[in-house]
């Protein structure tokens, strides 16, 4: 077990993390807001432990209804929209993307391991993605979306990515196969994107299904090449936050000036509760307004 975090609590119930409270206070208007959803994992099958697969769809509908009442620049789905249910997986993916299509704000999708219970071309078409990793900008902030299943056992058979996955497993047979790695091409793109953001003095938020920092998740949940990815993030000097899913409990840690936020899973939210957040972006902080099992936090950013 990890030791409990000991953040300060302000009058609004938010946890102030990292560089301390902003002198501007917490009541001024943000530049923009975005929604965050992780691990819906819908499937038409019986619950297993805390995972209530059928109920997740109603939780997502409730979440969409609430998010539509706010002015959001976008909503990010951190991956694992479906759990995987054999031949029913494609239809269940269509069902859950149909619910997300009701959002007024654009949806930015992240590839999760369970997402690849359908083949990659079908998945990308369903999510309307030309590439599984990409970047976009909002009011001078840069958002980078990574594909943590780039090199994985779910890479297309016979592909270079599949062969590289087997090489990883040959070297380290105990690697969890529900994780994967950022491939060389994607990693080079990430470094180039971050270098450009640094030159432009842009603040960056990275989204990935898989955490990259061991103390920000349970053991065995991180990317296969987490050390390499962390080196790229820390070396850029412009990454303010790395937001992931995959670990259903959720965690928080800070390292090398980067806030690592792992968002609790919607599928695990108790009855009559939920799990999602709205992030308010200010010039000097990210204010995470959690709903249900997602804690609220204020993440101070670089000057």
Question: Is residue 6 in some structural domain?
Answer: no
CATH number at residue 170: 3.60.21.10
Q: Does any domain span residue 287?
A: yes
The model's pLDDT over 3-42, given as tens digits with 9 standing for 90+, comes to 333 332 332 335 545 543 333 344 489 999 999 999 999 9
What's the whole-number mean pLDDT along residues 250-278? 97
pLDDT in tens, 282-296: 999 999 999 999 999
DSSP line for 223-272: -TTHHHHHHHHHHHS-EEEEEE-SSTT-EEEEETTEEEEEPPPSTTPPTT
Q: Would strands 8-9 and 15-17 be described as parallel, antiparallel, or unpaired?
A: antiparallel
pLDDT at 152: 97
Asked if the structure places residue 176 within a domain, the reply is: yes
CA–chain centroid gap for 120, Å, is: 19
Q: Give the per-residue pLDDT at 10.
A: 32
What is the DSSP code (8-state) at residue 156? P
- Counted domains in the chain: 1
Residues 234 and 244: beta-carbon distance below 8 Å: no
Q: Please write the tens of the pLDDT for every residue from 110-164.
A: 999 999 999 999 999 999 999 999 999 999 999 999 999 999 999 999 999 999 9
273 has a pLDDT exceeding 70: yes
The pLDDT tens digits for 164-208 are 999 999 999 999 999 999 999 999 999 999 999 999 999 999 999
Q: Can you tell me the distance from the alpha carbon of 178 to that of 19, in angstroms, rounded to the nearest whole number?
A: 34
Q: Is residue 4 part of a domain?
A: no
Taking the C-alpha atoms of residue 13 and residue 152, their distance in angstroms, rounded to an integer, is 40
| 50, two tokens | 């805390």
| Residue 99 pLDDT > 80 | yes
Q: pLDDT value at position 219?
A: 83
Structural domain contains residue 109: yes
What is the reported pLDDT for 4?
34
* Model confidence at 102: pLDDT above 90: yes
Task: Tell me the pLDDT of the chain averaged across its residues.
Answer: 92
Q: What pLDDT shows up at residue 1?
A: 35
281 found inside a domain: yes
Predicted local distance difference test score (pLDDT) of residue 2: 34
The answer to whether residue 2 is domain-embedded is no
Which pLDDT belongs to residue 17?
58
- Domain of residue 275 covers 11-22+30-300
pLDDT at 21: 37
Which pLDDT does position 25 carry in this prediction? 44
In a domain, 1, yes or no: no
Beta bridge partners, 33, equal 280
CA dist 292 to 26, 71, 99, 150, 182, Å? 21, 20, 20, 31, 31
Q: What percent of the chain shows pLDDT beyond 70?
A: 91
- Helices 89-100 and 55-67 sit at what angle, rounded to 10 degrees? 20
User: pLDDT higher for 16 or 243?
Assistant: 243
Q: Quick check: pTM over 0.75?
A: yes
């Amino acid at each position: 077990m990890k030791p409990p975090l000991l953040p300060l609590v302000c009058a609004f119930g938010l946890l102030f993390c990292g560089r301390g409270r902003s002198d501007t206070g917490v009541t001024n208007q943000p530049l923009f807001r975005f929604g965050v959803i992780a691990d819906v994992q819908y499937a038409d099958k019986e619950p297993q432990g805390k995972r209530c697969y059928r109920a997740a769809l109603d939780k997502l509908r409730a979440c969409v209804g609430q998010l539509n009442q706010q002015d959001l620049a976008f909503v990010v789905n951190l991956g694992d929209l479906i759990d995987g249910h054999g031949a029913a997986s494609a239809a269940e993916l269509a069902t859950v993307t149909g619910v997300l299509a009701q959002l007024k704000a654009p949806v930015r999708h992240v590839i999760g391991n369970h997402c690849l219970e359908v083949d990659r071309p079908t998945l990308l078409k369903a999510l309307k993605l030309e590439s599984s990793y990409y970047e976009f900008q909002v009011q001078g902030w840069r958002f980078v979306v990574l594909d943590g299943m780039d090199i994985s056992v779910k890479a297309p058979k016979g592909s270079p990515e599949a062969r590289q996955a087997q090489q990883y497993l040959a070297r380290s047979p105990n690697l969890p196969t529900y994780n994967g790695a950022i491939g060389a091409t994607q990693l080079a793109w990430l470094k180039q994107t971050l270098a450009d953001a640094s030159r432009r003095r842009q603040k960056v938020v990275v989204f990935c299904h898989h955490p990259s920092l061991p103390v920000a998740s349970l053991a065995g949940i991180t990317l296969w090449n987490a050390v390499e990815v962390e080196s790229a993030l820390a070396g850029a000097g412009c990454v303010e936050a790395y937001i992931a899913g995959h670990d259903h409990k959720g965690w928080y840690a800070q390292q090398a000036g980067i806030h690592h936020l792992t968002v609790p899973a919607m599928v695990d939210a108790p009855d009559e509760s939920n799990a999602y957040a709205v992030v308010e972006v200010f010039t000097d902080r990210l204010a995470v307004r959690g709903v249900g099992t997602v804690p609220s936090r204020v993440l101070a950013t670089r000057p």
